[in-house]
Amino acid sequence: MDLLHNPRELQAHADRLRAAGHRIALVPTMGALHPGHLALIAAARRHAECVVVSIFVNPTQFNAAADLAAYPRCLEADLAVCREAGVDVVFAPQENDLYGPGSQTIVEVTELQKPLCGATRPGHFRGVASVVTRLLIAAKPHVAVFGEKDFQQLALVRRLVRDLGFDVEVVGVPTVREPDGLALSSRNVHLTPRRRQQARVLVESLRAAEAAVCAGECRRDALLALAEREVDKAPDARIDYVELRDPESLAPAPAQLVGPTLLALAVHFPRRGDAGETVRLIDNRVLPVGQMQEEAP
């Protein structure tokens, strides 16, 4: 496994691979790798001979300096995970490698960055778009792999690739879940056992909404009310948002749903041992509106 730090080194490496006829898949991460990342790496391997994993805690997507400082950095452990997973190249740049002195260039996907998580995290998706653009230029991949748990990020990257004409396929990988259905996240460990149990309401609200759709419910407000009632069963949960949106444009869903529709949730729980701090969990599901009727005999 090669460990590279400089974007020029990675570009040269990619040029050699492409000249030899090999396909390259990029898995962008911020490190602290867990089984969810391993699913992305496995998907990348199915699409390409060479798998590149980037490990970079991107400062431009953090809203608070304290959050950036507290983000886990465990490069040696991450490198061990990558070796075990058969990764070919790890790209681990420093901030100055991607954002040189006096850097002035940012990238924005102006509309997709506004709703959902973007509404309460100003500048976050501008940082995501800026770093993903730099990583695509450095790695020159044929395929870039992202998790569907961060659905807004996936939609934004797909729009960025289309708008800027990157010759890369963006692959979404289904959310990896814990045995009880909770979406796998490094944030889950910050919950007390009691609140960890309560956090199941996220996936239970998605399941309830999907069951309602499969039974014929297509009214936006009824489905939102159902999802919110499920979340409210957790005494310590505080809803950030529960929304129904178009899976591609992220535009608000109409009053009567007419096709597959994204149900996205963000919920806060008090953080273990930190008075006043919270753990923000997200989850989503594309509800099969209209599909059940089409598949019926």
Q: How far is the C-alpha of 243 from the C-alpha of 157, rounded, in Å?
A: 20
CA 81 to chain centre: 20
Q: Say which amino acid occupies 193.
A: P
Q: What confidence tens digit (pLDDT) does each residue in 235-250 have?
A: 999 999 999 999 999 9
- Sign of the Cα torsion 61, 63, 65, 68 reads negative
Task: Give per-residue pLDDT as tens, 7-25.
Answer: 999 999 999 999 999 999 9
Determine the CATH number of domain 186-288.
3.30.1300.10
* CATH topology classification for 2-173: Rossmann fold (3.40.50)
Structure tokens at 220: 């936006």
pLDDT tens readout for residues 185-214: 988 989 999 999 999 999 999 999 999 999
Chain-centroid distance, C-alpha 91: 19
Encoded amino acid at 5, one letter: H
37 is catalytic: yes
Average pLDDT along the chain: 95
pLDDT of residue 125: 98
Q: Where in the chain is the domain with CATH 3.30.1300.10?
A: 186-288
Query: What is the band of 89 on the pLDDT scale with cuts at 50, 70, 90?
Result: very high
**What is this structure's pTM?**
0.94
The boundaries of every CATH 3.40.50.620 domain in the chain are 2-173
H/E stretch holding 13: helix 7-19
Which of 13, 37, 142, 190 is an active site residue?
37
The answer to whether residues 53 and 89 touch, using CB atoms and an 8 Å cutoff, is yes
What is residue 292's predicted lDDT score, i.e. its pLDDT?
56
Determine which helix (DSSP H) or strand (DSSP E) holds 265, and give its type and residue range. strand 261-270
Let me know: does 285 contact 181? Beta carbons within 8 Å. Answer: no
129 is written with which tokens?
């778009």
For residue 61, give the DSSP letter. Answer: G
Amino acid 295: pLDDT: 47
At residue 26, does pLDDT exceed 80?
yes
DSSP state string for 171-234: EEEPPPB-TTSPBP-GGGGGS-HHHHHHTTHHHHHHHHHHHHHHTT--BHHHHHHHHHHHHTTS
* Alpha carbons 259 and 261: distance in angstroms, whole number: 6
